[in-house]
Amino acid sequence: MTRKWFWIGIMLLAAMGVMATVGGSFYMLDYALEPEADRTDTAACFRRQYETYPEVRQWVDSLRQREALRDTFVTMPTGERHHALYVSKGSRRTALVLHGWRDCSIDFLYLARMYEQLLDYNVVVPDLHAHGLSEGERIQMGWKDRRDALHWLQVFRTDTMVVHGVSMGGATAMMLSAEKMPAGICDIRFVDDCGYTSVWDEFEGELRNQFGMPSFPLLYSTSMLCKVRYGWSFGEASAMEAVRRTAHRMLFIHGSADVFVPTAMGLQLYKAKNRGKSLWIAPGAAHAKSYLKHRQEYVSRVRDFVR
């Protein structure tokens, strides 16, 4: 009788463990991929941008007076309607600027200003899937976004292009770099500012740092759930694998004080790229703050890279 209850207890504990893992997987996936509730509040985004980068306000006002800042909507191959801000100055060079996790196009107008005003580029700044004014129910962490970014390149292609992403946008840029580029682009280069090596690596680090938990079993079960629900897994969403395959020139930027996407990831990505690469570790810069902390050098590094 004692042995019977022992095994019943073991089975109950196992069942509770399975239920806890399944429940935890749903929670983790929703936590990681849930869009911002107020993502369409563009006024709040502009206020946030102007508070951090006051110089952007005058630039935006000037563009609006000239009707040079355009809200653009396109239909993606998936059928979704996506939004971008587009600044045209009639150049044969265009920059595609990709924002980070739970950000939007407006949050990265400071980089759009850099390209348009200082480097003489047209600029396209999309709202990625499930961000800003673009349709979508769940964040894709850059993996499926690479195809949307490829479509933006096709729509706005010019002779010379640069894809510049920050954080999740940096990972998107790297993942995109291994794809076949649209015909008609003669020179395309990529800038990764603090992008992660893979979604698996990033979530594994956050699971450990925020919750003090190992990757097994929760990360494995959550990745499987993501595959079932959204058609992709954390392991396949790898910027590292794309960087190993791409032949395009790439500039890696990473803050030396980044703990959200550890600086070591930037170094690993740089090492994985065979050739045509540059690296700048921005002293003392936290995550996605390299431009804010070192504006002149940031512009100088990007200018030298895209020449």
Torsional sign, CA 186, 115, 131, 229: positive
Sort 120 into a burial class: Cβ within 10 Å, 0-12 / 13-18 / 19+. exposed
Tell me the pLDDT tens digit for each residue of 106-138.
999 999 999 999 999 999 999 999 999 999 999
At residue 143, what are phi and psi to the nearest 5 degrees? -70, -60
Return the amino acid letter for 115: Y
Residue among 149, 134, 81 nearest 104 (CA): 134
Q: Is the pLDDT of residue 10 over 50?
A: no
Is the CB of residue 179 less than 8 Å from the CB of residue 200?
Answer: no
Backbone conformation region of residue 48, classed left if phi is above 0, alpha if psi is from -120 to 50, else beta = alpha
Q: Is the pLDDT of residue 4 over 70?
A: no
Q: What is the dihedral of CA 107, 108, 110, 112, to 10 degrees?
A: -140
Return the amino acid letter for 144: K
User: What percent of the chain stands above pLDDT 70?
Assistant: 93
Predicted pLDDT of residue 218: 93
47: Cβ contacts below 8 Å, ≥ 6 apart: none
Predicted pLDDT of residue 19: 43
> How would you write 37-49 as a 3-class SS string?
CCCCCHHHHHHHH
Predicted pLDDT of residue 152: 98
Q: Read off the pLDDT band of 13 (50, 70, 90).
A: very low
